[in-house]
Chains A and B, each alone.
Chain A
Amino acid sequence: MKIAHFADLHLDAPFRWAGPDAGRQLRDRIRQTLRNVVDVALEQDVDAVFCGGDLYEHDFLTPDTESFLVRAFADLGDIPVLLAPGNHDYFSPESAYARADWSENVHLFTENRLEPFDLQDGVTVWGAAHLVPANTPGFLDDFSVDRDGINLALFHGSERGWFTDQEDGKQPHAPFDLAQIGEAGIDHLFSGHFHQPKTKPLLTYPGNPHPLSFGESGERGLVIATVSDDGHISRETIGVSPTDSHDIRVDITGLGHRDAIRDQIESQLSSLSGIARVTIKGELAPEVDFRLTDFDDVAAHLDAVVVRSGDLTPGYDLDQIATEETVRGEFVRAVSNADLPSVDRDLILTIGLRALQGRDDLAVV
């Protein structure tokens, strides 16, 4: 039996770092990701498609996306689609889960306790739903299966052992311990919530299939799990995102003008596709006049580019200037000795030294 499992798609999620235009484009890419999930599931001739929650964003879901979602799952024909609402798409009478006219192959878990679904003879899928956006208790607490055969589980939850390893800001929704899976008689738990993909013998977190932010690593996407008759799981992850995410650092040390910096950025982005975050770092030559907004239109072939300044040091011989018995020397000494964040210190030095040079291009922020 083959199961296609994904989670944390976050349809209609706002991309706060991208702005409205790129954000809309990326939301379209997330839709494309779901279409790819459907295509791969059909190609792989899976027996069921699981979604481990956070399929969409409750607060942002548009009618158009809701309609698209219904159509996408309907395209799977007779292949059962099991949906376990998460904290971002919790089930409620007002939710799209309750509103939409799902095709018959879609089964929705709507209780905040594990409920059985007979996927096949001898194969039971225990699923549960988040009914509120926060403070959902653990589904595996005091739970054990009541039947023989293969018992799989599907819900959106936080494995406590990994919680501290996960990205900042994650709340321990529906927490559970790894040991609880086996103790409950579950042969394998297909889950969602952590965007960082992780696998254990009894647990699968597929990660968010489409990039939601930068710095995401690990093989992520649609997990094709083959369940043997004894409940053993073998997994394969297939990328389904049409968007690559790149985190690029551009060193501008030695670059004497903004066109050179632009060339450097475009050079590093020219062969890429998808979305990119460019962090400008290095020594900012004193004569270089640029602002981050100068690069808003760089690499137009990408879906979105975010240019930010990183570890950008002023291109001055600060040690030398600090020896001067001048206002400039005193300024550099004072700023260097001040208790400031390094980024602020470098920017203040750049602004002050440029001002002392009589320039009007004082800041890059």
Chain B
Amino acid sequence: MKIVAVIPAYNEEDRVVSAINDAVRFVDAVVVVDDCSADRTAERVRSVGAFLVRHSVNRGQGAALQTGTDFALRFLYPDVLVHFDADGQMAGEDIPRLVQPILENQADVVLGSRFLGSAVSIPWTRRLLLKAGILFTFLVSGLWLSDTHNGFRVLKAETARRLRITLNRMAHASEIIDLIAAQKCRVVEVPVTIRYTTSTLEKGQRSLGSLRVILDVVKGQFFK
């Protein structure tokens, strides 16, 4: 069973190496997609020898994730793909737990859930918005999940081939769930730990960014 981690990265020169080293303990290879970073993210990735794919124009996390997926499927022949963040919020130790339902053929997609696990130091405003996101996702996709905006997910390679992300920016998380529902994939949620720090909160989605996500999802529905 070959497991490949796909890590989209944008201006993460300070954190990407530790994220790679964290993930690589539990996967067979790591693919980092540098989304036209202005800093030395790419150099840092090269220094540790992970597979590197570079966008020449910044396209967003969703686009970077799809590019990394395409690279892995085309050149690395994985059985399982792991979506992992470059900012150190996710814990590599959770990867085996996410992969397990796929190994046991209980799921096509496994989604990490911080509300089944733990969301360390999550601000209450963020928690409230994420809860609202659960309702929004249910209205759009019909799937009732405990955590709908968690980038920590594992997919069977053949499932990843069918789920093509077209929304470039943060709305891709909602789109993936929509695609999972449309393709009738077997979904399992697994508790994961997401660590919030001052730097990740500063860089992460602003609360107002949620409005942008909703707009992008609605636009995606209109302009398919």
- Bound pair (A, B): no
A residues adjacent to B (C-beta < 8 A): none
